Amino acid sequence: MVYVDQIPLRVQVIQPLTCTSFIEGDSFAVKVKICNNSTKGITLSDVKAQLCWWGQGGMSLADGQGNPVGVGELKPGECAEATWQMRCCEDGDVTFKVNVWNDCPPFIDIASSTETIHQFDPGHICCYILSPNLKDYDLCCEPGSPEAYIATGQEFSVVAKLFNSGDRPFTVNEIQLSDKNGGEIEIMAGPDVQWPDPQNPGVLAKRQYAIVSWDVVCTEAGPTELEVKVSGEDDMGTKDCCEHDVCIMQYPAAHLVVEFTDYPSEDIVTSTEFPITAKITNVGEADAWGVQAHLSVFPDTSVRISASDPDGGYTKDLGNLIGHDVNESESVTWLLHCKEVCDSTITITVTGYDEYGYEVKQICTSEIIGTPNPGTFQITCCDLLLDGTPGAPIQSRFIEPDSITVKQVEDDGNGDGNGDDGNLDVQLSPGWNLVSMPWYIPSDNRDPDDLLVDILDNLEAVYAYDPCDEEFSTYGPGIPGTLTEVRDGSGYWFLMNAADVLTVLAPPAGGGVPPTYAVDCIGYNLIGPRIGEEPMPCGEWLYELHVSAVLGYDNANDVYFIVRADDLVYPGQGYWVFFTQPGIRAW
């Protein structure tokens, strides 16, 4: 008979002790101390130990780890250690017990040691690029094909979702966006992060997510792999990181940008001229063909193209602008005439044609899944296709206009700003010009050779119209003609060989406009406002006279236009006015 208390085996857990915590996925060791405390001098020749566990959590033996383990021979008073390599599988409390026994002589320690440990799931960060990717198009894409097509020079957003899939709070320390090819995108702004708790930015609690975005521009054509990388640690100091990438295809496209480079910085006085200049740049990776710059004004009656503008139109041709790595620029200038008091918004946009004319299209196919029996359904898959028509118009999303606002004010009485000492500059374009003299011209100053001396080099002919005889009289420099006087109030056709400026001198102090203007013959009269330097509404100008139509002429664009009662008439311009009755107007 053998007494247990005479040859006891004793076991003591060295590690881990109760309340120790581990993170899911951790590897750890269970180590025990086993002693032969026999008081009878018995040697235990074949001691073994076995590890058992139970609870809410889970752990497993590491690869290659046996159980039970052999301790070997223990003489009286000797101790040995037994070790098991373990791995934490899931969170929750785990209780383990170690039993120790000896096969010869057969003794077992029934008072085995028991410990309880805690295993928890750490904070774990995941990241997914939401855009650009196939979800933008709801496509079934062929393996290896790009997840989005984006044009060079095009600004787009990269949007990613950050998600804490673990059980512990996770602090994000770093968020990066890069192109793994290197140098093929330019980050314009970001990262901009929408945290779930704005008062605690950077922290994601269990199962919380955040959205992060960047504004990006493609810089080079070709495939590009975008990568988002996020790193940080949970509140226990466990570090984690994640990466996600998508492949996009950048295709070459012309991209035109307008930028004002010269415009008035001070207020503009009505009836004065001012220049504006803009630079048009092709920032894309394709050439732009047949580029044109277009000017528009709001309100449309506030500003017009000056008669002395070299091209005289609202559209100017710029030709071709090279893209690729050259990014060619071209400057364009307009000379404008301030017509009325207001704040004018001047906008320049451009049009042109793309060297490649690429366009992204969706090609969809449908397939019937199943048999003709109930439950059959159809699935539709779409792929992206990059198609091109060289010379196609540049799409509006690749054109960036620019605008400025000009403040236009009245003359302060110290001259109209159009000429020195209050003189008026009449702008003359190449070709036909319909003009008039806004101030009273004394009789001894009406000779065309004297009055028009400053423009004779560019003047080909002057025509005046007599509504009573319905005939024109003419004047040509150095050529005898029937027009011997140029008077205020009448309108004249000036035929110019080149652009020029006719300066009409203001009357001397005390001089003025004759008090009346007589309409002797009905029908069309060629006249002009004899009102000094300020524009005024047409209805006010022709007040008390019987008029059925008024036509103006755009010298720069060589077109007539209808003048209504509320439209302004301008000093220095001529107008065809149809009178239905004779009359006298007190000017």
Q: Kindly report the three-state secondary structure assignment for every residue of 217-260.
A: EECCCEEEEEEEEEEEEECCCCEEEEEEEEEEEEECCCCEEEEE
Torsion of CA 354, 355, 360, 363, to 10 degrees: 130
- As a whole number of angstroms, the distance between CA 98 and CA 83 comes to 11
Q: Which two tokens stand for residue 116?
A: 């309880």
Q: CA dihedral in degrees (15, 21, 27, 32; nearest 10)?
A: 10
Give me the pLDDT at residue 146, please: 58
Q: Which stretches does DSSP call E strand in 389-430? A: 399-400, 402-409, 424-428
- The 8-class DSSP code of residue 319 comes to E
In terms of average pLDDT, the best of 417-421, 491-495, 571-575 is: 491-495
Residue 139: band (very low, low, confident or very high) from pLDDT cuts 50, 70, 90: very low
- Is the predicted pLDDT of residue 312 greater than 80, yes or no? no
Domain extent listing, the chain: 4-120, 125-251, 256-356+394-409, 420-586
CATH superfamily for 4-120 is Immunoglobulins (2.60.40.10)
Q: Does residue 402 or residue 98 have the better pLDDT?
A: 402
Average pLDDT over the chain, rounded to whole?
81
**Residues 60, 87 contacting (CB under 8 angstroms):** yes
Of the CATH numbers 3.40.309.10, 2.60.40.10, 3.40.1280.10, 2.60.120.10, which one belongs to the domain with range 125-251?
Answer: 2.60.40.10
pLDDT (tens digit, 9 = 90+) per residue, 539-566? 888 888 899 999 999 887 788 999 998 8
Please say if the pLDDT value at position 138 is more than 50: no
Q: What is the mean pLDDT of residues 72-77?
A: 87
pLDDT of residue 577: 93
Distances 116 to 15, 169, 493, 563 between C-alpha atoms, Å? 11, 24, 109, 98
194-208, 333-347, 362-376: which range is least confident on average? 362-376
For residues 284 and 351, the model is more confident at 351
pLDDT beyond 70 at 436: yes
| Residues 6 or more apart in contact with residue 214 via CB below 8 angstroms | 157, 158, 177, 187, 188, 189, 190, 191, 192
pLDDT of residue 141: 36
User: What does the pLDDT average to over 347-354?
Assistant: 94
Segment among 6-10, 199-203, 249-253 with least mean pLDDT: 6-10
CATH superfamily label, 256-356+394-409: Immunoglobulins (2.60.40.10)
Tokens of 243: 């990466």
How many whole angstroms separate alpha carbon 138 and alpha carbon 32?
58
Q: What is the pTM of this model?
A: 0.47
Give the range among 120-129, 310-319, 355-364, 374-383 with minimum mean pLDDT: 374-383
Alpha carbon distances (Å) from 579 to 535, 544, 562: 21, 11, 15
Mean pLDDT of 564-586: 86
SS3 labels along 482-520: CCCCCCCCEEEEEEECCCEEEEECCCCCCCCCCCEEEEC
With cut-offs at 50, 70 and 90, classify the pLDDT of residue 143: very low
Query: Nearest 10 degrees: CA dihedral of 563, 558, 475, 570?
Result: 30
Nearest to 321 by CA among 357, 286, 356: 286
Please determine, for residue 393, whether its predicted confidence score (pLDDT) is greater than 50.
yes
Taking 80 as the threshold, does the pLDDT of residue 89 lie above it? Answer: no
Is pLDDT at 342 greater than 50 in this prediction?
yes
Residue range 317-335: mean pLDDT, rounded? 91
Place of tokens 């009905």: 522
> What is the pLDDT, as a whole number, of residue 1?
33
Query: What's residue 563's pLDDT?
Result: 93
Between 496 and 301, where is the model more confident? 496
Q: Is the pLDDT of residue 369 over 80?
A: no
The helices-and-strands tally (H runs, E runs) of the chain is: 2, 44
* pLDDT above 70 as % of the chain: 81
pLDDT band at 510 (very low <50, low <70, confident <90, very high): very low
Res 445 pLDDT > 90: no
DSSP reduced 3-state for 36: strand
User: Apex CA 495: angle with CA 492 and CA 498, to 5°?
Assistant: 135
Report pLDDT for 294.
93
**Same fold across 4-120 and 125-251:** yes
